[in-house]
Amino acid sequence: MTANLPMPPQYGGEKPPSCNLRVSFFCEDVQGYIENPKSFLPLKACCCNDPTHKVSWHVKWKREFLIDHVHVVIIVLMNAYCDTCHETISYWPEFVLPYQREPLETFEQVIVEYLQGISISKIAGKLGYDPRTVSRWIKRIFSQAKFLVNLVVRRILQYAGTETLPLFLAREAVKLLLAWLHDHAERVGFPRLYRLIGFCNLLGKGDWDFWGAPLGRARTRHRQILDSG
């Protein structure tokens, strides 16, 4: 079963020590996850702060998911709990975004078509959404990409071995971010080139969440531990 296979490191299988509450995990089959989510979870939950801590699967919870823009299904998400840190760690399959019922592919389709010059009203009409809603999605992705582009590119460069890049304007940041993600996904054999936002979150290993921040802002949830001295 999938859970018995180690998550490829280039997809985010190895997590550095951190203090994050939400971690994306590799999931190649949406329908399979809906039917049997436990088969896609890691065999053992791990504390993000210290892998030696005792962590147990804690609770599961349900949320709605629009599998085709129309039909709602219920998916199950799992939490783990660290007894030492007293922290709950949520495990999210890569195709799910926080606070949204639509699959990740919808948002990626929107931003790609917008960058290709298709109008917001036309994009919204195909999806059946109010153009104002689609506009908010685009603004959010632009704002987050401008913040995240250097973080993501640095992570990719750990594998590619090239110099870092300067900051970019929002539109250029989105294009650059998608281009780097697409190139790296092809290089490592990530099979879903239409799910690059999920690939981005897998590369983050919990250090960022492309969509999870408040509207208009993207920020790492990594807790900086200050020296008390």
Q: What is the mean pLDDT of residues 155-163?
A: 64
Structural domain harbouring 6: 2-204
pLDDT of 11-43, one tens digit each? Answer: 444 443 333 477 888 888 888 999 998 888 888
- Laid out side by side, the sheet with 72-82 consists of 22-25, 87-93, 72-82, 55-66
- pLDDT at position 17 is 36
Q: Is residue 222 situated within a structural domain?
A: no
Mean pLDDT of the 77-103 span: 86
Q: How confident is the model at residue 63 (pLDDT cuts 50, 70, 90)?
A: confident
Checking if the pLDDT of 120 tops 90, the result is yes
pLDDT at 188 (0 to 100):
83
Mean pLDDT calculated for residue range 68-97: 86
211 lies in some domain:
no
Residue 109 within a domain: yes
Amino acid symbol at 147: F
Question: Is residue 93 in a domain?
Answer: yes
134 confidence band (pLDDT: 50, 70, 90): very high
pLDDT beyond 70 at 9: no
Is 90 inside any structural domain?
Answer: yes
- Percent of the chain with pLDDT strictly greater than 90: 10
CA distances from 75 to 62, 92, 101, 150 (A): 6, 11, 10, 33
pLDDT of the residue at 19: 39
227: in domain: no
What is the reported pLDDT for 162? 55
User: Given pLDDT bands bounded at 50, 70 and 90, which one contains residue 7?
Assistant: very low
pLDDT digits (tens, 9 = 90+) for 174-228: 887 888 888 888 888 888 777 888 888 888 776 777 765 433 343 434 333 333 3
Across the chain, the runs of DSSP E, i.e. the strands, are 22-25, 55-66, 72-82, 87-93
Q: What is the largest CA-CA distance in the chain?
A: 58
pLDDT of amino acid 166: 53
Domain membership flag for residue 63: yes
Average pLDDT over residues 106-130: 90
How many angstroms separate the CA atoms of 26 and 29, rounded? 9
Q: Regarding predicted confidence, which is higher, 44 or 215? A: 44
Res. 122: pLDDT tops 90: yes
Q: Is residue 21 part of a domain?
A: yes
The total number of structural domains that make up the chain: 1
